[in-house]
Each structure stands twice: as structure tokens, then as C-alpha cells.
Amino acid sequence: MLTVKKECALFDGVWEIGAEDQVWMSHGDTVTRIPDGFETVATSKGAPYAIIANENKKFYGVQFHPEVVHTLSGAKLLSNFVHKICGLEGDWTMAAFKEQAIDTIRRQVGTAKVICGLSGGVDSSVAAVLIHEAIGDQLTCVYVDNGLMRTGESEQVVSLFRDKYNIPLIHRDASNLFLDALEGVDDPEVKRKTIGRIFIEVFDEEAKKIGGAEFLAQGTLYPDVIESVSFAGGPSVTIKSHHNVGGLPDRMNLKLLEPFRELFKDEVRDLGRELGMSPDLVDRHPFPGPGLAIRVPGEITRDRLDILRKADVIYLDEIRKSGLYNKIWQAFAVLLPVRTVGVMGDNRTYEYVCALRAVTSTDGMTADYYPFEHEFLGRVSTRIINEVQGINRVVYDTTSKPPGTIEWE
């Protein structure tokens, strides 16, 4: 809880002196001394200099996350800073961004060929459609099926891009290569690196067949940039190596085309709508590059993947039927490498545990678990246990991010 001690341009129309408000801070550090020329304008129990200001220079410092939803007035503080203090108008629109992005892509690419790896998710799909609008058939998409996709996903990608968007698409089924290489691997980072390495090899082979591409297009988002690099060698660590294909451009000697590496997911969705893409695709929950591999903790086997796929379909089907899909940022099932005892009919069972995860979020950087009704959870559990052979117990994950991450690995 923050207490406001003095007036400040940053709080204009938000707080009066003496106001208290909730802010979010997840680290243990505290500032112990402030620079000359600054004064403390708000404090909290854990942070004596929670907000400092130098009104002459219009410099402000906050020791909490103003950008997360848990900081209740955070968006208003940022808005005050941008509009009132910096004097910007806020007349940026997605329609303008689209035009500008198309223009930039045309200038950057010229007459060169571009290849784009499709994953079936929102980001690479929007990137492909945007780039296709800019340069037409100078773009070829490559979809590498890694055997770690959900039920029916590969077929959907292929039919959508070939038939609906008419974008040249190469579909390579490399599932055996991936699954064989993952045999015996149980460490999450080794899984990511293995998947990344094979993806690069396969993608490289396919790209060579196309021949002559100068650019590699990627749907990199701003959170990917933040979470996968440690800026300027600073102390923030790489939490997960999200950039599964980080080595690709060097190996292939390609230049990168990342038209929205400064956008957040909700903005990419807006861009997709602006490009006329269907809500089915644009509002799809995020799906990680390493796919189901990081939802089967421990060793991945074809059998376990099949069990997980069946449970996941039921869970998402129930979520859609209850009209909850668009209220949730991401929902999925996880197959735990733990077996428990149960009874079914007159028989003893000894099968896997399935964990259900569902979170709300605006950018994937922080998240809360979704508060399903008990009745809903009961229905999903019953269906999964009755319909999926190999699972005899279902649990619900009530961890927020931080301290948990959204995925289990």
C-alpha cells in the first residue's frame, strides 16, 4: 500500500495528499538514498522512497511496477506522464501503424524474397498476413510440424494459409525427427534447445529448396524481447529461452524482419483485426513454440502426448461451451509424470495426474489463475477421467505469475 505525501504532477487527477492505493512490487530490493534535487512524494512500508520526483527536470522514479494491472492506478500514472508531462497527444492508431509497417516492409525488403516460419499461433500468422499484404508472393511461409501440436492444428494451419489467404506455404512433417531427438530428455531448457536446434536444421533445409531468400520474418513481440535478453549485461536473468529460433538468422545468413517487435500481444491482435483476420485466429490463446513438450514435464513419449491431447481437447471444449474462452488469456492441460491410485468400476487404476491451468493476463508478463466455478471444474474432471484412458485424477493449478510462470516448464 502506497501513501501519498506530497503533490506531484504525476498524480494530477489521480491522488490527493494522504491517499492510499495498491501498487505491485515483486522484488526484495529497496532504494536507500535518493539523488540530489529529488524529493519523496509517496512512500510505502517496504519502500521509503516509493515515488520520487524532480519537478524542475520533470524526472520521476517509481519503485514498483506501474505497468501491471495489480497497480490499480498504474495506467493513469503512465497516462499522466505521457500526455500531461511529456505533452504527447496519443493519436497513434492501429490503422496508421499498419500503413506505416507495410511501407517500412516494402522499403526494407525491396524486391528480395522473404521466408516466414508459421507456428499456427497468432503472432506468426499476423506477421505473415501483414507481410503478404506488403510484398505479395515475394513471401513464402514454412510450417514445420514438430509433432508437438494439439489435435487438428497442423491441418488448420495448412488449409487456412493455402486456401483462405492464398499465401505460398511449404508444409514439412518432421515429427519423427523431433520426437526421436527428445527421447530421454527431461530438462526443460534442454527440451527447448533440442527443439530449437532441429527446427533450425529443418527450416534451413526447406528454405534452401526455396532458394535466394534474403529475409527471415518473425512475429517477435516486445515481451519476447524483454524476457529473453538480459539488457546491457544487467542483472536480470533470462527466465526461459523463448527465442527458440535465435540461431537461425546467423546460420542462414538472413536478415531479420520483425515488423512488430515493439508491440504487445493485444496490439498484435488489433493489428490482425485491422488486416481483416477472423476472430477465431486473432483471439486464439497463445501457444508456446516448444508446444506440448513443455506441458509434459519429464520425458516426452508419443503415448503421453496422445493422452495429453485428448484431455486438452475436452478442457478447451468445455471452456468454449461455457463462453469463457475469450475471458481467459490461456488455458491448457498438463500431463504430470506422477501416477496415482484410483478405482473405476470394480477395478483399481494406477494412472497419470492431469493438471488444468487457466490464467488471465494482458501481456503474459504477469498473470492470475482463473477463478472457475467448482461445478465447471467438476464437469471437466469427470469428462477427462471418463473419456481419456491413462488419466485417473485431475487437479487445478491456483498459482499466479509471479511467482509461478504460466507454463509448467
Residue numbers at the binding site for ligand XMP (CB under 6 A): 192, 240, 242, 244, 286, 288-290, 330, 364, 401, 405-407
Report the alpha-carbon distance of residue 115 to residue 309 in Å, rounded: 30
As given in the structure block, the three cell numbers for residue 222 are 516486445
DSSP 8-class letter at 367: B
CB of 183 to ligand XMP, least distance (A): 20
Q: How far is CA 302 from CA 147, 178, 292, 293, 307, in A?
A: 9, 11, 11, 11, 9
CB-nearer residue toward ligand XMP: 3 or 405: 405
CB of 284 to ligand XMP, least distance (A): 11
CB-nearer residue toward ligand XMP: 195 or 354: 195
Nearest to 161 by CA among 215, 249, 153: 153
Nearest to 115 by CA among 94, 144, 154: 144
CB-nearer residue toward ligand XMP: 240 or 284: 240
- Name the pairing type of β-strands 59-62 and 51-54: antiparallel
Q: How far is CA 171 from CA 117, 141, 294, in A?
A: 10, 9, 23
CB 155 within 8 A of CB 188: no
CB 368 within 8 A of CB 359: yes
CB of 328 to ligand XMP, least distance (A): 12
- Rg (Cα) of the chain, in Å, rounded? 24
CB-nearer residue toward ligand XMP: 71 or 244: 244
In terms of C-beta density within 10 A (0-12 exposed, 13-18 middle, 19 or more buried), how is residue 132 classed?
buried
CB of 346 to ligand XMP, least distance (A): 41
CB of 242 to ligand XMP, least distance (A): 4
CB-nearer residue toward ligand XMP: 43 or 400: 400
CB of 240 to ligand XMP, least distance (A): 5
Helix (H) or strand (E) holding 379: helix 374-387
Nearest to 42 by CA among 85, 1, 2, 76: 2
CB of 113 to ligand XMP, least distance (A): 25
CB of 153 to ligand XMP, least distance (A): 14
CB 375 within 8 A of CB 276: no
Q: Is 154 helix (H, G, I), strand (E, B) or coil?
A: helix
CB-nearer residue toward ligand XMP: 60 or 288: 288
CB-nearer residue toward ligand XMP: 312 or 407: 407
CB-nearer residue toward ligand XMP: 123 or 318: 123
CB-nearer residue toward ligand XMP: 240 or 379: 240
CB of 405 to ligand XMP, least distance (A): 3
Write out the E strands in 31-168: 39-44, 51-54, 59-62, 113-118, 139-145
- Give Cα 191 distance to the centre of its chain: 18
CB of 2 to ligand XMP, least distance (A): 26
CB-nearer residue toward ligand XMP: 120 or 290: 290
